[in-house]
Structures are given as C-alpha cells and as structure tokens.
Amino acid sequence: MVPAKDFETSKRFYIELGFEPRILLADQLVEMQLGPFSFILQAYYVQEWADNFVIHLTVADVTTWWDHILALDLTARYGVKIMPPQVDGWATVAGVTDPSGVLWRIAQPCEAKSVR
C-alpha cells in the first residue's frame, strides 16, 4: 500500500506515469495497475514512512521509462525528484519520487547470472 499525502494529486501523478485506476476499494483507496503489476494507493500519510518507502520496478528498457519521465516534466509539475539512469552493479537504475516522497527505482537488469 503506497501512502498519499494528497490522494488526488498522487492518483493523477500515477495516471500520467501510465497506471490505470482499476478498482476503487473505498473512498480514498484505489488499486492502480500497469500491465500485470498493481499496487494500492491510499489516502494515508506518515512522513517518516513515505520518506523510507521504496518500490522497485523491473522493466525491459529503462531508457524508454526515463524518456517518458522526462517528457512528463514531473519535477516542474509535481515538485518531485528524478534520478537519471546509472549502472548499479546488477542493473541500470533510474528513479523518481512521487508527490508524497515515495521512491520508485526503475531498473533494467544486466545479464542475469545463475544462483545455485
């Protein structure tokens, strides 16, 4: 469950990123979906929790996501932080915080290595 300081602003932010509100579970509790991935956005906010909340999203092409994030001009429109793609050992990772401070790490894995 992802916290939202301002539920409507956060919902709009995620819709612009490409998520669709799928199921309204309660007045300010909605399932947001993108392909097979979904999460629940809730109108509940504790700064310490939101500031330490990280969601990791694995994608096939981080550059496409990064270009999409830049095109949306999220920093100017929502006051969020964005982090350009960089190699982080096992993946190329970009980042964006949502309007409540939740960090999304968007990662494209490097060549996979078997673990046995």
Q: DSSP assignment, residue 76? A: H
Q: Provide the angle, in degrees to the nearest 10, between the axes of the packed helices 7-17 and 62-72.
A: 130
Structural domain includes residue 115: no
Q: Count up the domains in the chain and report the number.
A: 1
The tens-digit pLDDT sequence of the chain (116 residues) is: 999 999 999 999 999 999 999 988 988 999 999 999 899 999 999 999 998 999 999 999 999 999 999 999 999 999 999 999 999 888 999 999 999 999 999 999 987 554 45
Residue 18: closest CA among 5, 1, 4, 37: 37
| Residue 112: predicted pLDDT | 56
CATH number at residue 80: 3.10.180.10
Structural domain includes residue 92: yes
Structural domain includes residue 76: yes
Structural domain includes residue 37: yes
pTM, two decimal places: 0.88
Q: Which residues pair with 20 in a beta bridge?
A: 33
- Counted residue by residue, the chain has a size of 116
CA 35 to chain CA centroid, Å, is 14
| Residue 88: predicted pLDDT | 86
CA distance linking residue 114 with residue 44, whole number of Å: 40
SS3 (DSSP) at 65: helix
| Residue 114: predicted pLDDT | 47
Burial 3-42 (b: 16+ CB within 10 A, else e): bbbebeebbebbeebebeeeeeeeeebbebbeeeeebebb
Structural domain includes residue 78: yes
For residue 57, give its domain range: 2-109
